[in-house]
Structure 1
Amino acid sequence: MAMICLIDDGIAGSALPPGFVAGGINFSGEGARHTFQADEHSHGTAMARTLHESCPQGQLFVVRLLDQYGHLNDIDRLDWVFGWLSEQRQALGITLICAPLADNALHLDDDAYHLSLLARHVASLRQARVPTLMPAGNRNHLASDEHQQGMAWPAILRDVVSVGALAADGPPGLHPVSKRLAARAGSACATRLLARPGAPGQTSGATARAAGQMACLQQMQPGISVQACVQQASRPWTDPHGQTWPVLADAMTPG
Structure 2
Amino acid sequence: MKQETDMPNLEPLFVSRIPPVERPVQRDKPLLKEIVEADRLIRASRGREHFKVSGKGLAVAVLDTGLRTTHVDFNGRVAAQRNFTSDDGGDVDNVSDGNGHGTNVAGIVCANKDHVGIAPGAHVVPLKVLSNEGGGSFEAIKDALQWLLDNGEKHNVSVVCMSLGDSGNYINDTGFPLDAIQERIRSLKAKGIACCVAAGNDYYTHNSKQGMSYPAIFRDTISVGAVYDLNEGSFSYNSGATAFSTGEDRITPFSQRLHDSVAGAVATDIFAPGAPIRSSGISNDRGESIQHGTSQATPVVAGVVLLLQELFVNAHGRLPAVDDVVQWLRSSAVSIVDGDDEHDNVDHTNLTFRRVDALAALETLSRSMATAELMAGSPGIPRTHA
TM superposition score normalised by structure 2: 0.61
1:146-185 counterparts in 2 under 5 A? 146=208, 148-169=209-230, 170-184=247-261
Structure 1, unpaired ranges of 5+: none
Contact in 2 for aligned 1:105/1:152 (Cα 8 Å): yes
C-alpha distance after superposition, 1:174-214 (max 9, x if no partner): 11110010113774311111001234321000001110111
User: Which residue in the other structure is 2:95 paired with?
Assistant: 36
Aligned twin of 1:250:
358
- 1:228 aligned onto 2:294: no
- The answer to whether 1:203 aligns with 2:294 is yes
Distance 1:117 1:10 in 2: 23
Distance 1:201 1:184, change over 3 A: same
**Residue in 2 aligned with 1:25?**
82
**Equivalent residues, number:** 247
Match of 2:65 in 1: 9
> Aligned-pair distance for 1:236?
4.4
Aligned equivalents of 1:108, 1:226: Cα separation in 2: 22
1:196 is paired with a residue whose SS is: strand
Counterpart amino acid of residue 175 in structure 2 = A
Distance 1:12 1:134, change over 3 A: same
C-alpha distance in structure 2 between counterparts of 1:76 and 1:207, whole Å: 22
Instruction: Tell me which amino acid in the other structure corresponds to 2:357.
Output: A
Question: Residue 144 of structure 1 corresponds to which residue in structure 2?
Answer: 206
Q: Check the 8 A contact 1:2/1:216 in 2, yes or no.
A: no
Equivalences for residues 24-173 of structure 1 within 5 A: 24-31=81-88, 32-39=91-98, 42-52=100-110, 53-72=117-136, 74-139=137-202, 141=204, 143-146=205-208, 148-169=209-230, 170-173=247-250
CA distance in 1, matches of 2:148, 2:258: 28
Task: Please say which of residues 219-228 and 51-60 is displaced more in the overlay.
Answer: 219-228
Query: For the residues of structure 1 that align with 2:199 and 2:80, how far apart are their CA atoms?
Result: 27
CA contact (8 A) 2:80 2:155 kept: no
C-alpha separation in 2, matches of 1:196 and 1:226: 22
| Superposition RMSD in Å | 1.9
Paired AA for residue 256 in structure 2: K
Percentage identity across paired residues of the two chains: 24
Looking at structure 1, the residues matched to 126 and 74 of structure 2 have their Cα atoms a distance apart, in angstroms, of: 15
Please list the CA deviations of residues 56-91 of structure 1 after superposition, one character each: whole Å capped at 9, or x if unmatched: 01110110111110111x322322221221121222
Q: Tell me the secondary structure at the aligned position of residue 197 of structure 2.
A: strand
Q: 5+ residue gaps in structure 2?
A: 1-56, 111-116, 231-246, 279-290, 314-318, 341-348, 360-386
Work out whether residues 30 and 67 of structure 1, in 8 Å CA contact, stay in contact via their aligned partners in 2.
Answer: yes
Please give the alpha-carbon distance, in whole angstroms, between the structure 1 residues aligned to 2:176 and 2:59. Answer: 28
The answer to which of 235-244 and 216-225 deviates more is 235-244
Does the 8 Å contact 1:163/1:195 carry over to 2?
Answer: yes
Q: 1:220 to 1:114 in 2, by over 3 A?
A: farther
TM-score under structure 1 length normalisation: 0.90
Q: 1:188 is matched with which residue?
A: 265
Provide the rounded CA distance (Å) in 1 between the counterparts of 2:182 and 2:254.
26
Q: Which has the larger radius of gyration?
A: 2
Give the 3 Å change call, closer, same or farther, for CA 136–114 of structure 1 in structure 2.
Answer: farther
